[in-house]
Structures are given as C-alpha cells and as structure tokens.
C-alpha cells in the first residue's frame, strides 16, 4: 500500500526520486553503442539550433526584399541562398539523426531483452515458482524493455527543445521580455495536471500485471496445439474465449475513462495556449501597423512565438514524460536488480570427478513460503553399479530429492555428499555435467530433432553419429530415419515444416537427450508414462545396460518395472518408511506391498473380463 501511495503522490521529492535509475539507463545506453549515442546527442544539439537559423535566414530575406526593393538584387540573392543552404543543412541533419536513432533503438531493445533473459537464467527454480517474481518479469517484458529508449528520446527532446526555446526566446526578449513568461506559464500548469494522469495510468498498468498474465495464458491455450484436443473434447473454446474477452473488456473500459480525462484536459489547455498565442500575435501586428518593427521582424516574431510555445510545452511535457517513464523504468531495474538468492551455481575448482557414491544425510526440506516439510530426515546411500527405485504416493517427496541432488533448490537441513564431499562445496556446472535427468514435465523444444537431443550435451550438438547412437538407445533411430530431414527436421507445429511427434516419441526424445550426456548418474522421473509396454520394456533394458558401472535412479508408479531395481526406497509423507529389494518388501507386508497388491489386483480385474468374454464366445 505504501508503494501505491508513493506512485499516486506528485511532489518534487517523488519526481527527483524516480531519476535515481538514470545512471543505470546511461550505462545501458553507453553499453549498447557508445559512438552512435554521442553522434545522436551531437546531431540533436544541431537540430535544436536549426529552427532559429531558419528563422533568422527568413527574416533577413524578407527584410532584404523590403529594404532593397528595385535596387540591388544581389543582396536579396545572397539572403535567399543563405536560406536555401540553412534549410538543406537542416534536412540533412534530420535525415542522418533519424537513421542513427532508428538503428540505436533496435540495438538498445536487443540489449535490454538480452539483459532480461540473462537475468532469468541466473534465477533459481524457487524464483520461477514465485508469483511476485513472475509479475516483475511480466512487467519488465511488457513495456519496460522499450522505456529506456523513450526516456532517452525525451532527454533528447528536452536538449533540442531547450536549445530552440532559448534561441527563439532571445528574439522575443529583445522585443517584450514578459511575453516569454506568458508563453511558459500555461504549459507549466498543464504539465502538472498531465503528470497526475500519467501516474494514474501507470498505477493501472501496475495492478494489471496478474490479469495480463492470465490474459496471455488464455490466448496461449486457444492458439497453441498443446491444449487443442482437450479444448475441443471438453468444448472449452467459448468458455475460455469469454474469460479472455471479460479481462480485456475491463482493460478497454479502464482505458476509455483514462482517455476521456486526458482528452478533456488536452482540449482545455490547448484552447488556453492558442488564445494566449493569438493575443501575442495580435500585439505584434499592432506594433507593425504603427511602424515599430519591419515586415521581416513581424514574420520572425510570429515564428518565434510559435517556436517558444511549442518548445516550452514540449520541454515540460518531456520532463514529466521522463518522470512517468521512470516509473516504468523502475520495473525493469527492479527485475534486473532482483537480489539473487544464495547462489547454487558455486564457482569453485572443486569437482566431483567420476561419481562413485551419493549419500543423503538427514536431509529435510520445505518449499519457500510453506511450513510443512516435504522431506524429513531422509538418509540413504547409492553406490556405483546400483539401480535404485524411489516409490511412494503422490506428494511423498520423490521428485524433490532429484531437485536437491541437481541443486535446483538449496538444502534447508542436512547435506548431500558426492564421493564424500558436500554438494555445497562442488562446482555446480561440473556436477550437473555428470548427471543426466529426464523429469516428468520434460520440455518439448519446438526446434530441430538435432537440437532436441543435442541440448543434453552441447559439445555433441554437431556430432550426428553420437546423437543417432543416443537415439538408438531409446528406439528413436528408425523414427528419425523416416523423417523428411532426419536430424534436421523441425519438430512441433509452431513453425513451418514442423513434424509433430506422438507423446511417446516426445518422451523417447527426452530420454535420448539425457542419454547423450555421458553421465555418471542417470535419473528418470516417471520415464515411461507415455510409452506402451513393449517400448517401456525396451527402454528399461537399455537403461539397465547404460547404467552398468554407473548409478541409476528412477521414480515410477509401475511396480512391474520397480521390482527389477536392486534397491527400492519407499517414501511416505517425506520420510523413508521402507527399503530393500522387491522380495524383501513384499515379505515385510508394509506400504510397498500394499501399493503393489493394489496395482496387481487392478491388472487382474482388467484381465478378468477379457478372459470371461473369451469363454462366452
């Protein structure tokens, strides 16, 4: 609430406070293209001088015509040529400046987007699972990525406007000094009112962020193939479309009210400004009528009034526009300067080497913002040449163990030891290089098959032989051979010539991505969910072969596969309640036996009707 009141209060302190990000903006501008930045500033100053030069050239030409009429044409010709040169030079400056500004804008936007994405890859998983961080990312992506250039443009507008204003005001000051004060007063008052509207507009955009995300997600659901089948089968199209329309109709109604206020104020202040300008022009004409000034001076003064009016209003509007944009800039740098949590990407020379043992010692863990333990005092050891299965009900903490082992989350309590060394002391990148993981919610990259497999080990990205060997381990070899461009085939339907895989084929691709890693540890989290029984059997056969003299760990609810593991660890409510091989756990008649028997009974119930119908036939 304090943040909201700060944004809705207009005072000099708040205006000055929003400029604290200027050093960051200028560093960003300088980093983008320092030479082009200096060229634009220099050309802006020249552009600010040129209107006054054109005014003086026009005044000299008209006065030359009046004074030397029917006398010496060379004076008139020189004045004319001077006007032509000044006008041409002004056009050249504008064209060159426009060229540099357009290029600089594209370079700057690229630099900002890269900065946002670079920040994103240095966040932790818990940041991405935090709605507040997501809102900051959304705000940074929505508008703040181009706001720095708008601030820069406004600064250039102030710089050029001040140069033009001072030069035009100097002409009027030599005639009536108080005229400049009148021309400056109305824009000053109007800018104060407009900044209040701008603050209100900003606050509305600020509170819209969660609804923007929901609107984007609804759009995503309705326009991507991932949800198409369910939307059709459950007839969700109209329902989701109505939700999307409702959110965006609210946006339109809010924008209408804001636009109405802005239009009324614009009309009022433009009318007052026009009236003041007309009265001053009338005074100029009155002075000319009484012979106090020449015709050329009349033109110069009228033009100076116009320049002073437009640039005084432009300068003040630019200043308050900078203030308003600074509010958006704050969003960008709030995300870019988001404090990183305790770094998990430990940069140390200590590497695990070949992994022979993994020990979980008294590991307890709670997800950020929650009080309940997902894991509680978990201890077990995995040795080289062992395959361990983790089983348990949903929510028992199985996947969380994998996240902790791969350092996607920091440890709360206890420790994990790799070859006797604490995981907190090991280089994170080196550790992850030695672990191949397939998560249940694996990524379907809408890229080529080569990239989908090669992302598991970038050094093999262009090694087709290695990629195909990995594909063969998961039964993808023949599928790839039948594809239009083999490994270079575009997958998915988001891009042209996309080749859509089945759910099982996508899962095999994810497995190939893990197997190409040449890891010491392979972890599969529900790896066979989309595989048919034959493909599942073949995949686990390859998995058992691949993990020879290595460490294998898999999570599965299919006990026909689990029972082949050398050791089975049973989790319940975050604690290890049983451990042993299949035969030992069945004899113990505990949770494992209960879950196994439920599944076995299910198989029999499914088989029975089939056999019954065969007998009836």
pLDDT band at 8 (very low <50, low <70, confident <90, very high): very low
Spatial distance between the Cα atoms of 499 and 203, rounded to a whole number of angstroms:
45
Task: List, in order, residues 6 or more apart from 570 with CB less than 8 Å away.
Answer: 391, 392, 576, 577, 578, 579, 585, 590, 591, 592
Spatial distance between the Cα atoms of 153 and 159, rounded to a whole number of angstroms:
10
How remote is the C-alpha of 590 from its chain's centroid?
Answer: 49
Q: Which candidate, 527, 473, 479, places its Cα nearest to that of 502? A: 479
pLDDT at 138 over 50: yes
Contact predicate 473/413, CB 8 Å: no
Quick: pLDDT tens for 161-200. 777 777 777 777 777 777 777 777 777 777 677 767 767 7
Domain regions of the chain by residue span: 12-336, 348-434+549-617
12-336 matches 348-434+549-617 in fold = no
For domain 348-434+549-617, the CATH superfamily is: P-loop containing nucleotide triphosphate hydrolases (3.40.50.300)
pLDDT at 544 over 70: yes
SS3 418: strand
SS3 604: helix
CATH topology of domain 12-336: ABC transporter transmembrane region fold (1.20.1560)
pLDDT band at 39 (very low <50, low <70, confident <90, very high): very high
Contact predicate 194/261, CB 8 Å: no
CA atoms within 13 A on the CB side of 58: 16
pLDDT at 444 over 80: yes
DSSP letter string, 63-115 = HHHHHSTTS-HHHHHHHHHHHHHHHHHHHHHHHHHHHHHHHHHHHHHHHHHHH
> What is each CA distance from 180 to 54, 171, 174, 175, 276, in whole angstroms?
20, 10, 11, 10, 11
Length of the chain: 617
- Residue-averaged pLDDT of the chain: 79
Quick: pLDDT tens for 491-538. 887 777 788 888 778 888 888 888 888 888 988 887 666 566 776 777
| H/E element, 413 | strand 413-418
Contact predicate 163/50, CB 8 Å: no
Tokens for 127?
């940041």
Contact predicate 155/277, CB 8 Å: no
Q: How many Cβ atoms are within 10 Å of 152's Cβ, its own excluded?
A: 24
Q: What is the mean pLDDT of residues 475-484?
A: 87
Contact predicate 208/142, CB 8 Å: no
Q: Which candidate, 400, 171, 201, 421, places its Cα nearest to that of 305? A: 171
Tokens for 55?
């005014």
Q: Which candidate, 467, 452, 444, 471, places its Cα nearest to that of 542? A: 471
SS3 429: helix
Spatial distance between the Cα atoms of 394 and 571, rounded to a whole number of angstroms:
10
Tokens for 276?
């003041």
Q: What is the mean pLDDT of residues 8-24?
A: 59
**Res 95: pLDDT:** 92
Quick: pLDDT tens for 550-605. 888 888 777 777 877 888 898 888 888 988 888 888 888 888 888 888 877 765 54
**Res 608: pLDDT:** 38
Q: What is the pTM of this model?
A: 0.63
């Amino acid at each position: 609430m304090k943040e909201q009141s700060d944004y809705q209060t207009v005072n000099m302190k708040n205006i000055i406070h929003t400029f604290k990000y200027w050093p960051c903006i200028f560093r960003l501008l300088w980093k983008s293209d320092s030479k082009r930045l200096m060229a634009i500033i220099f050309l802006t100053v020249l552009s600010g001088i040129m209107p006054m030069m054109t005014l003086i050239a026009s005044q000299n030409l008209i006065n030359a015509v009046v004074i030397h009429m029917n006398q010496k044409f060379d004076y008139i010709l020189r004045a004319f040529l001077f006007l032509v040169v000044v006008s041409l030079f002004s056009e050249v400056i504008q064209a060159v400046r426009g060229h540099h500004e357009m290029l600089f804008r594209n370079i700057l936007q690229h630099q900002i987007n890269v900065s946002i994405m670079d920040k994103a890859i240095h966040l932790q998983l818990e940041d991405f699972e935090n709605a507040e961080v997501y809102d900051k990312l959304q705000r940074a992506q929505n508008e703040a990525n181009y706001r720095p250039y708008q601030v820069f443009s406004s600064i250039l507008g102030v710089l050029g406007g001040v140069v033009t204003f001072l030069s035009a005001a100097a002409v009027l000051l030599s005639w009536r000094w108080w005229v400049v004060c009148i021309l400056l007063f109305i824009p000053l008052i109007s800018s104060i009112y407009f900044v209040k509207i701008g603050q209100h507009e900003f606050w509305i955009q600020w509170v819209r962020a969660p609804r923007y995300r929901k609107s984007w997600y609804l759009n995503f659901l309705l326009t991507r193939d991932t949800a198409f089948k369910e939307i059709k089968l459950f007839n969700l199209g109209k329902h989701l479309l109505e939700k999307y329309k409702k959110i965006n109709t609210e946006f339109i109604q809010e924008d209408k009210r804001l636009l109405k206020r802005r239009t009324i104020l614009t009309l009022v202040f433009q009318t007052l400004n026009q009236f003041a300008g007309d009265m001053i022009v009338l005074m100029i004409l009155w002075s000319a009528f009484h012979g106090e000034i020449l015709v050329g001076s009349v033109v110069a003064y009228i033009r100076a009034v116009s320049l002073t009016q437009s640039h005084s209003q432009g300068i003040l509007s630019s200043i308050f526009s900078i203030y308003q944009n600074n509010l958006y800039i704050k969003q960008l740098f709030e995300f870019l300067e988001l404090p990183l949590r305790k770094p998990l990407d430990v940069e140390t020379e200590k590497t695990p080497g070949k992994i022979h043992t993994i020990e979980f010692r008294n590991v307890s863990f709670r997800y950020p913002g929650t009080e309940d333990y997902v894991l509680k005092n978990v201890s077990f050891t995995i040795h080289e040449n062992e395959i361990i299965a983790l089983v348990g009900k949903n929510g028992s903490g199985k996947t969380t163990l994998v996240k902790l082992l791969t350092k996607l989350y920091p440890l709360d309590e206890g420790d994990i030891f790799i070859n006797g060394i604490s995981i907190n002391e090991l280089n994170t990148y080196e550790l992850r290089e030695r672990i191949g993981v397939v998560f249940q919610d694996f990524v379907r990259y809408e890229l080529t098959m080569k990239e989908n497999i090669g992302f598991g080990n970038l050094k093999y990205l262009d090694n087709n032989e290695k990629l195909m060997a990995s594909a063969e381990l998961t039964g993808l070899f023949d599928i790839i051979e039948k594809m239009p461009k083999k490994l270079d085939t575009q997958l998915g339907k988001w891009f042209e010539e996309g080749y859509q895989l089945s759910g099982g084929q996508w899962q095999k691709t994810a497995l190939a991505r893990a197997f190409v890693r040449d890891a010491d540890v392979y972890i599969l989290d529900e790896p066979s969910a989309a595989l048919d029984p034959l493909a599942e059997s073949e995949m686990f056969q390859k998995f058992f072969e691949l993990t020879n003299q290595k460490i294998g760990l898999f999570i599965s609810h299919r006990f026909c596969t689990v029972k082949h593991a050398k050791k089975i660890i049973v989790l319940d409510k975050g604690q290890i309640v049983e451990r042993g091989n299949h035969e030992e756990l069945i004899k113990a008649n505990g949770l494992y036996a209960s879950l196994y028997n439920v599944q076995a009974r299910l198989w029999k119930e499914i088989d029975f009707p089939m056999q019954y119908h065969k007998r009836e036939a």
